[in-house]
């Protein structure tokens, strides 16, 4: 398929749901993937890599759902990943074919290291695999992307041959990955310039788009991606918050804001609505349970905070003294005082609408009740508080088990004890009491005794949404199912009481694990001292 290429447009290919989801702890349910895909469409990404359909029937179903519900005519291209083998390619097509603009992304490791240790084939045999794979993909899909995996450590002339062959067989996007995050910006820029210049059939007017895909093992993913753009790439493969294998992928927000903020330098643009960046970042962080480090560029909690006296003084005089972009550009609302305890439902609804949340009916009643509860305890409720409440109320997994009530006793004397009342999927209420090392541990033990899905807590963190002793607490956790499985699941919870926030976060992770793995009736390992009261 020949496409018209606007040479100043850098297409954004988001792989949060594929490469990002492959990162430890980022496993998402199908419903969560769909909601993230919807937000990616609102953000304005050009292509969503929705998953790896041949990986499992669940992955296939999730890609199909995204293709049907998000891949509309005015929506993004919906892409699936496939190894360059028949089974993967055919399954991938099954996944994406219902999208208005489907794409098959097929790949093969092309460095000598990958050829020898992964495929155990010669360079000549590899070219044959590329020929067959891309030809098959092009016979099914009008839009085909080919990636020579581990290109950062591959031989340039061999890559030229492979890319030319992929074009001949119907690929229209050539994505060049630095799979192991090995290259440096200047060498990568030169390598890509040479590859683009030497590959026949890929010049101006050919309809071919060159793309870059970088990993962050040396912390160079954004720099390498931008070097690729300067060398001629007009597609960037990125993830929200830079999540991905090992040290992660290139982060979408960094590349997009570099192109946006340094317009005069790059003379390029993207289709991203930058004001949706923060919301997308929070959604992905809440669903994956992967907390964004405070000093992370663009989306970190401190990215727009000015602490040093000299900086604050400069900011008061003029924001341009220490700010190269405004917080509003990335969707961070600086309004501090939002609502108080006398604010009514209408004011709340209007403020939520201004923040981009259209909430009505029962959902609004639910948020209003939470808001009132918070406003009673806290003088002012800020935008950040409201966003945390929304994330806690609506951005969770399917609620198989839900928290009804919790009570803890703790202190320097005695044994920390938690009594937890929960509802299971049948609406049955179950109460358990457990003793633990502290109130959170005791509560988690009580939850475990009810859910019976043994797991290990591998990460737990608490943050306050705003300053002050009355601030809302946000908790993120990551758990790993006991046994053979290498996956882990994240959860998020927000509440004034950090023990309650902790239980909500834990329950979100447990529900996610139960939904994805179908657990829930296994006996917990070890003894927990519990009392069960059925009501």
**What is the binding site for ligand KIV (CB under 6 A)?**
19, 81, 107, 147, 149, 175, 177, 179, 213, 215
User: To the nearest whole angstrom, how small is the minimum distance from the Cβ of residue 249 to Zn ion?
Assistant: 6
Instruction: Give the 3-state secondary structure of 462-486.
Output: EEECCCCCCCCEEEEEEEEECCCCC
Residue (226 or 519) nearer to Zn ion, CB: 226
Angle at 493 between CA 353 and CA 475, to 5 degrees: 120
- Count of residues interacting with Zn ion (CB under 5 A): 1
Pairing mode of beta strands 473-481, 489-495: antiparallel
291 is in the binding site of which of Zn ion, ligand KIV, none (Cβ under 5 to 8 A by kind)? none
User: To the nearest whole angstrom, how small is the minimum distance from the Cβ of residue 251 to ligand KIV?
Assistant: 15
Tokens 């541990």 belong to 441
User: To the nearest whole angstrom, how small is the minimum distance from the Cβ of residue 332 to ligand KIV?
Assistant: 30
147 is in the binding site of which of Zn ion, ligand KIV, none (Cβ under 5 to 8 A by kind)? ligand KIV
Q: Bridge partners of 480?
A: 456
19: contact with Zn ion by CB under 5 A? yes
Tokens 């995050």 belong to 181
User: To the nearest whole angstrom, how small is the minimum distance from the Cβ of residue 177 to ligand KIV?
Assistant: 3
User: To the nearest whole angstrom, how small is the minimum distance from the Cβ of residue 179 to ligand KIV?
Assistant: 3
Contact status, residue 272 vs residue 262, Cβ threshold 8 Å: no
User: To the nearest whole angstrom, how small is the minimum distance from the Cβ of residue 199 to ligand KIV?
Assistant: 18
Stretch that binds Zn ion, among 11-19, 42-50, 316-324, 518-526 (CB under 5 A): 11-19
Contact status, residue 344 vs residue 367, Cβ threshold 8 Å: no
- Pick from 80, 38, 41: nearest CA to 61: 80
- Pick from 518, 489, 481, 521: nearest CA to 506: 489
Stretch that binds Zn ion, among 17-25, 124-132, 300-308, 325-333 (CB under 5 A): 17-25
Tokens of 184: 């440096």
User: To the nearest whole angstrom, how small is the minimum distance from the Cβ of residue 417 to ligand KIV?
Assistant: 48
User: To the nearest whole angstrom, how small is the minimum distance from the Cβ of residue 56 to ligand KIV?
Assistant: 17
296 is in the binding site of which of Zn ion, ligand KIV, none (Cβ under 5 to 8 A by kind)? none
Pairing mode of beta strands 47-51, 77-83: parallel
Residue (175 or 419) nearer to Zn ion, CB: 175
Residue (87 or 246) nearer to Zn ion, CB: 246
107 is in the binding site of which of ligand KIV, Zn ion, none (Cβ under 5 to 8 A by kind)? ligand KIV
User: To the nearest whole angstrom, how small is the minimum distance from the Cβ of residue 20 to ligand KIV?
Assistant: 10
User: To the nearest whole angstrom, how small is the minimum distance from the Cβ of residue 325 to ligand KIV?
Assistant: 29
385: contact with Zn ion by CB under 5 A? no
Q: Bridge partners of 433?
A: 419, 531
Stretch that binds Zn ion, among 12-20, 83-91, 166-174, 509-517 (CB under 5 A): 12-20
Residue (19 or 474) nearer to Zn ion, CB: 19
Which segments of 355-497 does DSSP mark as H helices, in order? 361-377, 383-394, 439-451
Stretch that binds Zn ion, among 19-27, 468-476, 479-487, 492-500 (CB under 5 A): 19-27
Q: How long a stretch of residues is the chain?
A: 535
Residue (29 or 175) nearer to ligand KIV, CB: 175
Residue (144 or 149) nearer to ligand KIV, CB: 149
Residue (19 or 253) nearer to Zn ion, CB: 19
Stretch that binds Zn ion, among 14-22, 195-203, 295-303, 461-469 (CB under 5 A): 14-22
401 is in the binding site of which of ligand KIV, Zn ion, none (Cβ under 5 to 8 A by kind)? none
Q: Bridge partners of 47?
A: 13, 77
Separation of alpha carbons 24 and 19, rounded Å: 11
Q: What is the dihedral of CA 113, 117, 118, 123, to 10 degrees?
A: 60
Q: What is the dihedral of CA 127, 129, 134, 140, to 10 degrees?
A: 160
Q: Please name the residues in contact with 114: beta carbons below 8 A apart, sequence gap of 6 or more.
A: 149, 150
- Return phi, psi of residue 162, to 5°: -65, -40
H/E run at residue 272: none
**Residues making contact with Zn ion (CB under 5 A):** 19
């Amino acid at each position: 398929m020949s496409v018209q290429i606007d040479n100043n447009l850098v297409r954004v290919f988001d792989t949060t749901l594929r490469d990002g989801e492959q990162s430890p702890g980022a496993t998402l349910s199908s419903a969560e993937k769909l909601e993230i895909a919807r937000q990616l469409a609102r953000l304005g990404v050009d292509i969503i890599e929705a998953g790896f359909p041949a990986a499992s029937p669940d992955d296939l179903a999730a890609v199909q759902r995204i293709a049907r519900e998000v891949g509309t005519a005015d929506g993004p291209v919906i892409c699936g990943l496939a190894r360059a083998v028949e089974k993967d390619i055919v399954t991938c097509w099954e996944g994406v074919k219902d999208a208005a603009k489907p794409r098959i992304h097929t790949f093969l490791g092309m460095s000598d290291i990958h050829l020898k240790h992964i495929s155990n084939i010669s360079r000549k045999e590899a070219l044959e695999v590329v020929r067959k794979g891309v030809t098959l993909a092009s016979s099914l899909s009008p839009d085909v992307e080919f990636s020579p995996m581990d290109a950062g450590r591959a031989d340039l002339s061999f890559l030229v041959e492979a890319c030319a062959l992929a074009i001949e067989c119907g690929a229209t996007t050539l994505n060049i990955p630095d799979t192991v995050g090995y290259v440096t910006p200047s060498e990568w820029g030169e390598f890509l310039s040479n590859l683009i210049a030497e590959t026949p059939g890929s010049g101006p007017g050919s309809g071919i788009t060159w793309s870059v895909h970088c990993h962050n093992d040396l912390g160079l993913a954004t720099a390498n991606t931008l070097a690729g753009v300067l060398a001629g790439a007009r597609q960037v493969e990125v993830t929200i918050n830079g999540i991905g294998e090992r040290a992660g992928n290139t982060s979408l927000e960094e590349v997009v804001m570099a192109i946006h903020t340094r317009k005069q330098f790059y003379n390029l643009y993207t289709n991203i609505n930058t004001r949706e960046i923060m919301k997308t970042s929070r959604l992905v962080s809440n669903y994956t349970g992967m907390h964004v480090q405070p000093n992370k560029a663009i989306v970190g909690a401190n990215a727009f905070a000015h602490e040093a006296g000299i900086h604050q003084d400069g900011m008061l005089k003029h924001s341009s003294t220490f700010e190269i972009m405004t917080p509003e550009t990335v969707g961070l609302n600086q309004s501090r005082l939002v609502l108080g305890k006398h604010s009514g439902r209408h004011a709340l609804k209007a403020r939520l609408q201004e923040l981009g949340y259209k909430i009505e009916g029962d959902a609004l009643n639910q948020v209003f009740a939470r808001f009132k509860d918070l406003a009673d305890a806290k003088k002012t409720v800020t935008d950040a508080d409201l966003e945390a409440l929304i994330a806690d109320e609506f951005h969770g997994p399917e609620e198989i088990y839900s928290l009804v009530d919790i009570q803890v006793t703790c202190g320097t004397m005695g044994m920390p004890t938690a009594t937890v009342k929960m509802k299971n999927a049948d609406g049955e209420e179950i109460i358990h009491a457990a003793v633990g090392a502290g109130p959170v541990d005791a509560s988690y033990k009580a939850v475990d005794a009810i859910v019976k899905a043994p797991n290990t807590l591998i990460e737990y963190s608490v943050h306050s949404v705003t300053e002050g002793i009355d601030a809302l607490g946000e908790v993120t956790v990551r758990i790993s199912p006991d046994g053979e499985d290498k996956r882990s699941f994240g959860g998020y919870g927000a509440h004034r009481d950090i023990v309650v926030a902790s239980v909500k976060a834990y329950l979100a992770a447990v529900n996610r694990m139960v939904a994805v793995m179908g657990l829930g009736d296994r006996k917990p390992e070890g003894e927990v001292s519990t009392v069960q009261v059925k009501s």
